Structure 1
Amino acid sequence: MPQEPVRLPHERAAGCPFDPPPGLAPLRDRRPLTRMRYPDGHVGWLATGHATVRAITADPRFSSRYELMHSPLPGGPDGPLPPAPVGDLTGMDAPEHTRYRRLLAGRFTVRRMRRLADRVERITTRHLDAMERRGPALDLVEAYAHPVPALMICELLGVPEAEQDLFIRRSATVFAPDSSPEEQVAAYIRLTECVRELVVAKREHPTDDLLGDLTGTDLTDEELAGIGGFLLAAGLDTTAAMIGLGTFAVLTHPGQAAALRAGPESADGAVEELLRYLSIAHTGARTALEDVTVDGQLIRAGETVTLAIGAANRDPARFPDPDTLDLDRRATGHLAFGHGAHQCLGQQLARVELRVALPALFTRFPTLRLAVPPEEVPLRVNTSVHGLLRLPVTWDER
């Protein structure tokens, strides 16, 4: 008997800010690939199993192009999405994606990103010093989680120091869920103009940063500005969300902070577990370019598959006791950065930032704790990246 298409479970359970929507696990436990009805009437698929999501993201017969996708969430566009803007690697396929990826991959190597660790340490130390001077209590998102990755993006793109505060304020407006759409659009346009001006300046006077380095390639000014905007959107909000939500998770799981203070190797493993457990970029999508059989199910050309990353990273077939946060767990193989050709280009930079920022925070403030009950911490809802609006914290002064 054909299975009745389901709707995407997207509401998180009250009081469970770290868990995927509860309707996903029963679907995954029955079968890792489920027929799904989209709000616009399209009937496609929902992938919830770890091995299934991994297989689909590695298969070039599935497309990442936005204009081929159907939105799984209520309130999405009724018609096709527009194609990816210039420089947006997420929404394009080979050969365009391959060209951009090859130009950028050598500039995001593990070795090169680790060389940025000293800069991350200086930035985190500066903000931790400022927090200590202010004293408890404060909003950790505003004081630490957002400005640290924002300044690292400035470092990466080569934003002049005199312009960094303005850059950070505009980026905060772009990504703030409580900003109006008009405010977000206006701030993004101004940011894009800033990046475009940077590109023009670096054409004339090349600098030792990502944009300056890329001016030596065959990329046009429009492509460079687009790549700068893409890296900003992809790397700032996600890392900020991980610092904020990761801190919240550790503070509500007594005893877990010890793994972040126990040294680099332990902290590295703790960060991987937080990435798995939280899976802040909780869904992805692919559309079949031809008929493909996955897990014994025929996915026809043109059918969209929604990838439930959070459910896949909680798959007991891959991770024992997956709903438990265990910072001593070996969480390698998680899909928080995706998989395949579109695996997150900046994942090594994100890891460097998290491996420095989180241990430094809990080492500097060993008595760090929530300043409000956990249920009063305001979450961001109905956004593509799961996170917090604010994180009120306090600590004992020395």
Structure 2
Amino acid sequence: MTTVPDLPDATEALEHFPFDDGRGIEVNERFKELRQREGLLRVRLAYGEPTWLVTRYADARLVLGDARFSRAMSVGRDFPRQEEATDLAGLITMDAPEHTRLRTLLLKALSRSRIEAQRPTVHAAADDLLSSAMAAGPGMDIVVDYAQRMSVLSICDLLGVPVSDREVFESTSAALMPGSAVGHEDMMRRFGALQACTERLIAERRARPRDDLMSAMVQARDEEDRLTDTELIDLVVSMLLARFEAIITQIPNCVYVLTRGDRALWNRLRANPAELPAAVEELLRNNASAGAGLFVRYAREDVNVGGTLVRAGEALTVAIESANHDPARFEDPDAIDFTRPPGGHLTFGYGAHYCVGAQLGRIDLQEGLRVLLTRTPELTVRDITWRERPHIRGPEAMRVTWQGGPE
């Protein structure tokens, strides 16, 4: 039966989401109760208008995958979000047919063979970073010294950014780090430098193509259609942001989960490295890292979602961490089980907006973890500073040591 709720008055206090301060990656217990109740909960995020909270797996797939729910309607609105800024741009803010066009062209360039060919390079970069850290001392901040630098090296190598230009990418990445003291004006300056650098690289690849993603993106065509320079620049910036979120967040999160307690998961992967791909999938499902407000949609028309009639023009926020722990989809969802059948989790999204770089993210995680498991078997987490009320949940800093480090 469809529930038509009495919507709260604009002045009435709504429950705030997320339900905690965002520190850590444990899934909030409140989701269990919400998945069992009929209908959706009306909540408010730190900024923006009220939103319906989607917590069940089936409802999440509906909202993420059905064309009756729009990302483009967020543009120009006071959409639900965790951060004050309201600037939205790029592929993630589009609906069909514009989104379909850009996604089709990008996928022509970002082929599976090109992505898989990155694996040896990603592994070598991670290995070099760990060697540098080991030469400097018996420990490192795995967020800044390993994951952040790996994210920049990964995207620069894929795009074909020369070493002389990589400082621009590193500077922008550093400004995005949680706790960064970079102000708005400095941030805009860095983004401007990144855009100028990308524009120059596009011109060079158009004149002299190479075997890299930038050249492939410049040459990608669908009949007579191709990406404009502005679209290319926006896609490069979006890819840098995506690498930041995937690698800088997930490598520390995975290390934290694998090494806590009796270290059984860490030791299992050391003994059985062939399980690493399955382990990465299960950790992506298990970790509550997707920040509140990342998966906002607007209803184009009245739609029944989970027993609630969502009116046209109303916002919905999908709680990916809850959907990924829904017992209606995953048996014993709170357990970490590397033998769980593959597929199904929504960490990379679903439907038309499923992350085009998901496979590259998997390779980055697999190889980044593989190097740590192989070369630092006694790696231990010594100290963690968690981000508070973050866009993406994870450590702001995480100090690790290995054999020979201080006790």
Cα 1:223–1:4, aligned 2, differ >3 Å: closer, same or farther?
closer
Return the offset for 1:173: 1.6
Q: Say yes or no: does 1:33 pair with 2:43.
A: no
Cα 1:13–1:105, aligned 2, differ >3 Å: closer, same or farther?
same
Give the AA of the match of 1:278. N
Aligned 8 A contact 1:379 1:389 in 2:
yes
Counterpart of 1:297 in structure 2 is 308
Q: Deviations over 1:107-153 (max 9, x none)?
A: 33433311111111111111122222223122111221111121010
Give the 3-state SS of the residue equivalent to 1:287 in structure 2. Answer: strand
Counterpart of 2:197 in structure 1 is 194
Q: Deviations over 1:327-353 (max 9, x none)?
A: 444452110000000001100000011
Counterpart of 1:215 in structure 2 is 218
Cα 1:136–1:11, aligned 2, differ >3 Å: closer, same or farther?
farther
* Separation of aligned partners in 2, 1:198 and 1:216: 13
Counterpart of 2:328 in structure 1 is 317
Q: Say yes or no: does 1:206 pair with 2:209.
A: yes
Cα 1:396–1:116, aligned 2, differ >3 Å: closer, same or farther?
same
Cα 1:135–1:222, aligned 2, differ >3 Å: closer, same or farther?
same
Q: How many residues align?
A: 387
Aligned 8 A contact 1:153 1:236 in 2:
no
Counterpart of 1:334 in structure 2 is 345
Cα 1:172–1:260, aligned 2, differ >3 Å: closer, same or farther?
farther
Cα 1:33–1:133, aligned 2, differ >3 Å: closer, same or farther?
same
Question: Can you give the 5+ residue segments of structure 2 that lack an aligned partner in the other structure?
Answer: 9-13, 221-225
* Separation of aligned partners in 1, 2:390 and 2:56: 22
* Separation of aligned partners in 2, 1:355 and 1:75: 30
Counterpart of 1:46 in structure 2 is 53
Q: Deviations over 1:287-308 (max 9, x none)?
A: 0111112233221110110111
Cα 1:41–1:279, aligned 2, differ >3 Å: closer, same or farther?
closer
Q: Which runs of structure 2 are paired with 1:92-171 in the superposition (5 Å)?
A: 92-171=94-173
Q: Say yes or no: does 1:348 pair with 2:359.
A: yes
Cα 1:19–1:13, aligned 2, differ >3 Å: closer, same or farther?
farther
Return the offset for 1:46: 0.9
Counterpart of 2:279 in structure 1 is 270
Give the 3-state SS of the residue equivalent to 1:106 in structure 2. Answer: helix
Cα 1:266–1:27, aligned 2, differ >3 Å: closer, same or farther?
same
Among 255, 261, 264, the residue aligned to 1:255: 264
* Separation of aligned partners in 1, 2:48 and 2:166: 45
Among 61, 73, 76, the residue aligned to 2:68: 61
* Separation of aligned partners in 1, 2:105 and 2:39: 36
Q: Deviations over 1:231-254 (max 9, x none)?
A: 111223322110112112212142
Give the AA of the match of 2:276. A
Q: Deviations over 1:249-274 (max 9, x none)?
A: 21214211134324454101110111
Q: Deviations over 1:198-233 (max 9, x none)?
A: 112222222221111122242221111111111111
Give the AA of the match of 1:140. I
Give the AA of the match of 2:282. E
Among 279, 287, 297, the residue aligned to 2:298: 287
* Separation of aligned partners in 1, 2:271 and 2:7: 50
Return the offset for 1:56: 1.2
Return the offset for 1:286: 0.6
Deviates more, 1:31-40 or 1:186-195: 31-40
Counterpart of 1:359 in structure 2 is 370
Aligned 8 A contact 2:82 2:390 in 1:
no
Return the offset for 1:176: 3.7
Across the aligned residues of Structure 1 and Structure 2, the Cα RMSD in angstroms comes to 2.5
Give the AA of the match of 2:98. E
Aligned 8 A contact 2:64 2:349 in 1:
yes
Give the 3-state SS of the residue equivalent to 2:397 in structure 1. Answer: coil
Give the 3-state SS of the residue equivalent to 2:201 in structure 1. Answer: helix
Question: Can you give the 5+ residue segments of structure 1 that lack an aligned partner in the other structure?
Answer: none
* Separation of aligned partners in 1, 2:17 and 2:29: 7
Aligned 8 A contact 1:7 1:37 in 2:
yes
Give the 3-state SS of the residue equivalent to 1:344 in structure 2. Answer: coil
* Separation of aligned partners in 2, 1:161 and 1:57: 39
Give the AA of the match of 1:231. M
User: What percentage of residue pairs aligned between the two structures are identical?
Assistant: 34
Cα 1:13–1:72, aligned 2, differ >3 Å: closer, same or farther?
same
Q: Say yes or no: does 1:245 pair with 2:253.
A: yes
Among 228, 240, 245, the residue aligned to 1:232: 240
* Separation of aligned partners in 1, 2:83 and 2:149: 31
Cα 1:170–1:40, aligned 2, differ >3 Å: closer, same or farther?
closer
* Separation of aligned partners in 1, 2:101 and 2:43: 34
Return the offset for 1:280: 1.9
Cα 1:303–1:34, aligned 2, differ >3 Å: closer, same or farther?
same
* Separation of aligned partners in 2, 1:40 and 1:191: 28
Return the offset for 1:387: 1.8
* Separation of aligned partners in 2, 1:153 and 1:27: 39
Aligned 8 A contact 2:39 2:307 in 1:
no
Return the offset for 1:30: 1.7
Report the TM-score when normalising by structure 1.
0.89
* Separation of aligned partners in 2, 1:300 and 1:42: 14
Give the 3-state SS of the residue equivalent to 1:150 in structure 2. Answer: helix
